[in-house]
Structure 1
């Protein structure tokens, strides 16, 4: 398992995916927050086009627990991403952030704009820009699934959880996927064992984000940015995700039809074509 030591001595692991493809590696930052990068697989076959480097954030997957749990905070994880770039020997790197990893990718681009060649934000709620998903966002997206056979059982539990009147319930996991098939069920079932819940509580804690500063910094970013939203995703509904385009000057926006929060599972061919073409320039 390849690994390196970050700024504070914490050993961080990363995974190489794909058959090599062409060009420099694409650095992939996982979401969750604080879910081991294993859930990303090879991003639906994207590794056939570009070698992928999937980072296990500190305290997740094969990476070590840090001495200071406060370093799980998103803004402090930026230094781990930069340490990975140095370890890989890249002057500039292409970066893909999924879900919560999108905020980490945004903070890294804001702090080190000269180190980013291209940036893709995949179904990423832009917390770092002060744009969280609301219960209304999620419920509006959920109602789009009314024709699904599991909807009548899942929606009341989902609504109760979002409004603070119920606990998290596996019944409503189908809302996070465009297709609730066997692959989606297996993917959802692995979530609990792959996620460091204590670290997730710290990830977006007080002080993690400074939206005005990040917005101003992104205005000076010269790297092309792809914002990809899932048509059925409530975490970052397309209209919320589109808001990122207001702050990064060289941005492309795409909506993947029929996709939920994990678009590479819902339609791998569509996803790899769109994202692969973006990184191919």
Structure 2
């Protein structure tokens, strides 16, 4: 397993999948081991995926100071990986909560990023978050699904503050375009792959300075792709459009029938969409 050491002494692991131009990949969760990304729907057939296990997850070491789980503190991990790989500039892909880490990295090291691909990604770093109303709007699209009634009742308990672990399990189908065997297995690995202690610290409010970050990305010359799922609530396609407007050169692509993990719902279209975007810059 290839590894490198962050300046604070934490040993971090990464996985290399495929061949070709490198694409540095940041997982979400938050703080879920990168194994859940797989090979991103076959994207490894087009790119050499450099997939980071965030500190305290997967094969990476546990930091001496838990405060370094905060996503702004992990920016140095991404920069240390770039330097370790000997890359002057990187093509960066981030999923879900990993979007905040990628955006914070881009705001701190704008000249190090050639392209940024945000896959159903958060943008709290830019002052945009996803609300209960967004969840309800996306949930309403699934009313015809056989699991909807029970899952929606669990959503209501979660929003009311009385949700249990069983309720969180019950709402998992909302995050997938198809609640099939593959989706169920993928969802079932979430708990064992996630560092719950780290997840609670990851998005601490003090990690974000949206005004400063917006000022950087507004004048940024890097190309940005926001890839949204038609059925996803985080972000809704229209919210992804609003995030794109904060950049100088960004586009939004909505994958039909896809949820929060679009490389599972439509692997071919996902991989081709990302690869076509990256090819424009080479």
| SS across alignment from 2:234 | coil
Q: Report deviation, 1:167.
A: 2.4
Please say if residues 98 and 122 of structure 2, whose CA atoms lie closer than 8 Å, have aligned partners that are also in contact: no
Tell me the residue number matched to 1:266: 265
Tell me the residue number matched to 2:33: 36
For residues 35-87 of structure 1, give each alpha carbon's deviation from its aligned partner in whole angstroms, at most 9, with x where no partner exists: 00000000000000000010000000000000010100011111100000000
Tell me the residue number matched to 1:192: 191
Please say if residues 138 and 231 of structure 2, whose CA atoms lie closer than 8 Å, have aligned partners that are also in contact: yes
Tell me the residue number matched to 1:203: 202
Q: Counterparts in 2 of 1:114-263, with a 5 A limit? A: 114-168=111-165, 169=167, 170-263=169-262
Q: Tell me which of 53, 70, 73 is aligned to 2:70.
A: 73
Can you give the 5+ residue segments of structure 2 that lack an aligned partner in the other structure? none
How many residue pairs match? The answer is 278
Q: Report deviation, 1:221.
A: 1.2
Can you give the 5+ residue segments of structure 1 that lack an aligned partner in the other structure? none
Please say if residues 60 and 195 of structure 1, whose CA atoms lie closer than 8 Å, have aligned partners that are also in contact: yes
Query: C-alpha separation between the residues in 1 aligned to 2:132 and 2:160?
Result: 7
CA RMSD of aligned residues (A): 0.9
Tell me the residue number matched to 2:15: 15
| SS across alignment from 2:177 | coil
> Could you state the TM-score of these two structures normalised by the residue count of structure 2?
0.97
Q: Report deviation, 1:140.
A: 1.0
Q: Report deviation, 1:220.
A: 2.1
Query: C-alpha separation between the residues in 1 aligned to 2:49 and 2:163?
Result: 39
Query: C-alpha separation between the residues in 2 aligned to 1:163 and 1:175?
Result: 18
Tell me the residue number matched to 1:3: 3
Tell me the residue number matched to 1:112: 109
Please say if residues 90 and 115 of structure 2, whose CA atoms lie closer than 8 Å, have aligned partners that are also in contact: yes
Query: C-alpha separation between the residues in 2 aligned to 1:255 and 1:180?
Result: 19
Query: C-alpha separation between the residues in 2 aligned to 1:54 and 1:94?
Result: 12
> Could you state the TM-score of these two structures normalised by the residue count of structure 1?
0.97
Q: Report deviation, 1:213.
A: 0.6
Q: Which moved more, 1:161-170 or 1:214-223?
A: 161-170
Query: C-alpha separation between the residues in 1 aligned to 2:31 and 2:271?
Result: 24
Q: Report deviation, 1:158.
A: 1.2
Query: C-alpha separation between the residues in 2 aligned to 1:217 and 1:102?
Result: 16
Query: C-alpha separation between the residues in 1 aligned to 2:62 and 2:236?
Result: 33
Q: Report deviation, 1:166.
A: 2.3
For residues 193-212 of structure 1, give each alpha carbon's deviation from its aligned partner in whole angstroms, at most 9, with x where no partner exists: 00000000010113111111
